[in-house]
Chains A and B, each alone.
Chain A
Amino acid sequence: AQSVTQPDIHITVSEGASLELRCNYSYGATPYLFWYVQSPGQGLQLLLKYFSGDTLVQGIKGFEAEFKRSQSSFNLRKPSVHWSDAAEYFCAVGAGAGNMLTFGGGTRLMVKP
């Protein structure tokens, strides 16, 4: 069965600083990979997705992610964080029966002014 690990439960960065959120997955084949963002009390918004092709994927709100097969990773990056980026971020793998999603535990991002 597939699994997703987000090693960092909380991350605090200063506004304007760069950001990298880590995601490691376990799956035998190339999975479908996703990053979602959830603001407090809100639903899930898709930031970006990957299945094949260029391993550097551009998403919304200035986010990008890089798929590294050798490291089983799909880390999310942003060059300059804005206060509005404070939220919880979830990495997910689509695999297995029905290609339903398996989520990591999430990383809560706080942004210092």
Chain B
Amino acid sequence: NAGVTQTPKFQVLKTGQSMTLQCAQDMNHEYMSWYRQDPGMGLRLIHYSVGAGITDQGEVPNGYNVSRSTTEDFPLRLLSAAPSQTSVYFCASRKRGDLYNEQFFGPGTRLTVL
């Protein structure tokens, strides 16, 4: 199993540009989520999904869109990038019904918005 994969690893955007961060998992996990990591603030939940076709907002959803058309993929879209979205983005997945609700994280995407 590859686990949770994210592409790209690094990205530089100009203000106003759009892009999609890709996330895929091959563990047949029902739950997937996106977090952003900023210094001193830990990781904060952006959006999450409990299954294909179902998404919901987390703590910091503004400026981001998601969709979940398949169990495996959960892309994160920035429609008009802003410098405040400079961050490291982590995708995670977990299996419904797991006793500990343990989440598995991808390696992250480092995004810089100029």
**13 chain-A/chain-B pairs, Cβ below 8 angstroms:** A9-B40, A32-B101, A43-B105, A44-B90, A46-B102, A94-B103, A98-B31, A98-B48, A101-B43, A102-B59, A105-B40, A106-B40, A106-B42
What residues make up the interface of B, taking CB atoms closer than 8 Å to A?
31, 33, 35, 40-45, 48, 50, 56, 58-59, 90, 92, 99-103, 105-108
Task: Closest A residue to B106 by CB, please name it.
Answer: A43
Question: Total A-B residue pairs with C-beta atoms closer than 8 Å?
Answer: 57
Give the distance to chain B from A79, nearest Cβ to Cβ, in Å.
24
What residues make up the interface of A, taking CB atoms closer than 8 Å to B?
4, 6, 9, 32, 34, 42-44, 46, 49-51, 90, 92, 94, 97-106
Question: Once the chains bind, are B105 and A44 in contact (CB under 8 Å)?
Answer: yes
Question: Once the chains bind, are B101 and A94 in contact (CB under 8 Å)?
Answer: yes
